[in-house]
């Protein structure tokens, strides 16, 4: 192991040191680069000094505009013009910038209540509450929902905010293989009976936690399969819709909308407002008594600042546009564009011979690079063609499952998708990334 200057073992391992210096620093994605302007259809990245790629992030002060395949801007609401931006500007004049108080003190504005009402209706639940940060929504909700004596059964690929929230709750935690219904059922059998007769339940509550759409895999939760098990084993279900709300379903209302399932079958619908709504924060939607309890017991709203007025107005306007209330037809058009772009790009990449992960309708499209040494090469070649794409590798994925991840948006058009496909065609030949023989017809 490396030694630090004072002679103690360095906190970073040899491997981390190798990985960060030799690989991560050489990746030409938007990671750790200053950006300017709106992260919309295009993203403008500050250029790096190339002579010192091995050791530092150093910047030139000049910028390059690139096609943005890296932001979570599913419905194209990350923008500085148009009806949302106008409404936000007006709201600043009326309400100012800051709530200047936690929600539980003087931070409950009429705007916050209107947004909560709108979110509840949008996702199909009786009540909802908003948080000023998506991460904190999960990190502080679990401790308010379950505690010692309860059990959380979590998909192994659940987001860090879920894992942290679960740990903070004090509940026992176990996980099941990603999206594997057989493994979930086995876990349920194991934990419910624990060698006792089937009628014995050693847990106060059992909470199964999944995501609607997984951000590194592009996979969708098997909601019908989970609900079948829910009827049989009687647990509570928490679905994190950070990436699925707005992005999935004919009306953009997430996984329930996608599968045609009544939202009342799910106990807790959580989501973030950072992605499809171009805003900030998170929400939890559930029965009224659960939301009432959450309001009184979650640390983020008692000890933390309320969402700010401009952010609330952005959420409200985006919701109104998606549901067709503000600008007739625009919501539908955005939903159709993201659905088309997602399928078109995914199918095109498969036709080229790439190994593409995830569900056919997912706007998150990971292509496999496998070998970590191909990460800097792929990102460099994309950036040379002025396309910005996030490269994902260890520790977010296993070392040999390195990938590039395209995030499709309603802000893109078919020409943009063709541009990405043309770049991937050339780069795939050079880097030998066309692992499969391609497909003949459908995805």
- Give yes or no for residue 134 binding ligand PMP (CB under 6 A): yes
Candidate residues 70, 236, 274, 317; the one interacting with ligand PMP per rule CB under 6 A: 274
CB of 430 to ligand PMP, least distance (A): 32
Piece of the chain touching ligand PMP by CB under 6 A; list 6-14, 127-135, 315-323, 390-398: 127-135
Instruction: Give every CB contact of residue 289 below 8 A, 6+ residues apart in sequence.
Output: none
- Give yes or no for residue 311 binding ligand PMP (CB under 6 A): no
Of 441, 262, 439, 258, the residue nearest 352 (C-alpha): 439
Q: Which is nearer to ligand PMP, 209 or 290 (CB)?
A: 209
| Residue 432 host element (H or E) | none
Q: Which is nearer to ligand PMP, 161 or 330 (CB)?
A: 161
Of 415, 416, 394, the residue nearest 406 (C-alpha): 416
Piece of the chain touching ligand PMP by CB under 6 A; list 29-37, 128-136, 167-175, 251-259: 128-136
Instruction: Give every CB contact of residue 266 below 8 A, 6+ residues apart in sequence.
Output: 237, 238, 239, 256
Q: Which is nearer to ligand PMP, 161 or 388 (CB)?
A: 161
- Would you tell me how many other CB atoms lie within 10 Å of the CB of residue 83? 15
CA distances from 402 to 58, 382, 394, 425 (A): 25, 16, 7, 19
- Give yes or no for residue 132 binding ligand PMP (CB under 6 A): no
3-state class of 207 per DSSP? Answer: strand
Candidate residues 138, 298, 308, 362; the one interacting with ligand PMP per rule CB under 6 A: 138
- Give yes or no for residue 109 binding ligand PMP (CB under 6 A): no
| Residue 36 host element (H or E) | strand 35-36
Candidate residues 128, 133, 266, 349; the one interacting with ligand PMP per rule CB under 6 A: 133
- Give yes or no for residue 362 binding ligand PMP (CB under 6 A): no
CB of 243 to ligand PMP, least distance (A): 6
- Give yes or no for residue 215 binding ligand PMP (CB under 6 A): yes
Q: Which is nearer to ligand PMP, 208 or 242 (CB)?
A: 242
CB of 250 to ligand PMP, least distance (A): 22
Radius of gyration of the chain (CA): 23
**Structure token pair of residue 16:** 């981390």
**Structure token pair of residue 331:** 């919501």
The size of the chain, in residues, is 443
Strand 42-48, strand 35-36: pairing? antiparallel
Helices (H), 101-180: 110-123, 134-145, 160-169
3-state class of 128 per DSSP? Answer: strand
CB of 269 to ligand PMP, least distance (A): 12
- Give yes or no for residue 159 binding ligand PMP (CB under 6 A): yes
CB of 220 to ligand PMP, least distance (A): 13
- Give yes or no for residue 161 binding ligand PMP (CB under 6 A): yes
Of 377, 389, 387, the residue nearest 423 (C-alpha): 387
Cβ-proximal residue to ligand PMP, closest one: 134
Q: Which is nearer to ligand PMP, 31 or 203 (CB)?
A: 31
3-state class of 117 per DSSP? Answer: helix
CA distances from 288 to 121, 123, 140, 315, 409 (A): 13, 14, 18, 21, 33
Instruction: Give every CB contact of residue 407 below 8 A, 6+ residues apart in sequence.
Output: 69, 70, 71, 72, 73, 74, 363, 364, 365, 390
CB of 56 to ligand PMP, least distance (A): 27
- Give yes or no for residue 70 binding ligand PMP (CB under 6 A): no
Candidate residues 68, 272, 314, 379; the one interacting with ligand PMP per rule CB under 6 A: 272
Per CB under 6 A, contacts with ligand PMP among 217-246 are 240, 242-243
Q: Which is nearer to ligand PMP, 152 or 377 (CB)?
A: 152
Q: Which is nearer to ligand PMP, 249 or 353 (CB)?
A: 249
x/- mask, ligand PMP, residues 163-202, rule CB under 6 A, reads ----------------------------------------
For residue 267, the Cα-to-chain-centroid distance in whole angstroms is 20
The residues of the shown chain that bind ligand PMP, judged by CB under 6 A, are 133-135, 138, 159, 161, 211, 215, 240, 242-243, 272, 274, 282
């Amino acid at each position: 192991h490396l030694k630090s200057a004072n002679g103690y073992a360095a906190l970073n391992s040899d491997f981390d040191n190798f990985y960060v210096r030799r690989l991560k620093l050489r990746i030409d994605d938007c990671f750790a680069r200053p950006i300017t302007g709106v992260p919309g259809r295009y993203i403008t990245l500050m250029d790096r000094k190339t002579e010192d790629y091995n050791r530092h992030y150093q910047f030139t002060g000049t910028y390059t505009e690139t096609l943005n395949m890296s932001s979570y801007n599913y419905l194209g609401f990350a923008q500085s013009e148009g009806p949302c931006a106008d409404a936000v500007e007006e709201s600043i004049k009326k309400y100012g910038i800051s709530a200047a108080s936690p929600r539980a003190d003087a931070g409950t504005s009429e705007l916050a209540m209107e947004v909560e009402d709108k979110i509840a209706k949008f996702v199909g639940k009786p009540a909802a509450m908003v948080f000023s940060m998506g991460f904190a929504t999960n990190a502080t909700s679990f401790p308010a929902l379950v505690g010692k004596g309860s059990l959380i059964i979590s998909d192994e690929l659940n987001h860090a905010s879920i894992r942290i929230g679960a740990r903070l709750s004090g509940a026992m935690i176990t996980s099941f293989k990603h999206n594997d219904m057989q493994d979930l059922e086995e876990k349920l059998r194991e934990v419910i009976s624990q060698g006792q007769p089937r009628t014995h339940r050693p847990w106060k509550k059992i909470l199964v936690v999944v995501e609607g759409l997984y951000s590194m895999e592009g996979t969708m939760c098997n909601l019908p399969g989970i609900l079948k098990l829910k009827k049989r084993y009687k647990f509570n279900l928490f679905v994190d819709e950070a990436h699925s709300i707005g992005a999935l379903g004919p009306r953009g209302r997430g996984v329930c909308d996608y599968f045609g399932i009544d939202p009342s079958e799910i106990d807790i619908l959580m989501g973030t407002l950072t992605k499809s709504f171009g805003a900030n924060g998170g929400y939890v939607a559930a029965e009224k008594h659960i939301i009432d309890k959450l309001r009184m017991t979650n640390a983020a709203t008692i000890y933390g600042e309320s969402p700010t007025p401009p952010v609330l107005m952005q959420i409200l306007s985006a919701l109104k546009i998606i549901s067709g209330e503000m600008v007739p037809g625009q919501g539908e058009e955005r939903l159709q564009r993201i659905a088309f772009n997602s399928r078109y790009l995914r199918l095109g990449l498969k036709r080229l011979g790439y190994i593409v992960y995830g569900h056919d309708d997912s706007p998150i499209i990971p292509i496999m690079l496998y070998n970590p040494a191909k990460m800097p090469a792929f990102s460099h070649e994309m950036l040379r063609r002025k396309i910005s794409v996030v490269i994902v590798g260890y520790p977010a994925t296993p070392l040999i499952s390195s990938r590039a991840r395209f995030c499709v948006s309603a802000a893109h058009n078919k020409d943009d998708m063709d541009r990405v496909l043309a770049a991937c065609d050339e780069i795939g030949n050079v880097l030998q990334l066309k692992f499969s023989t391609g497909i003949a017809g459908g995805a």
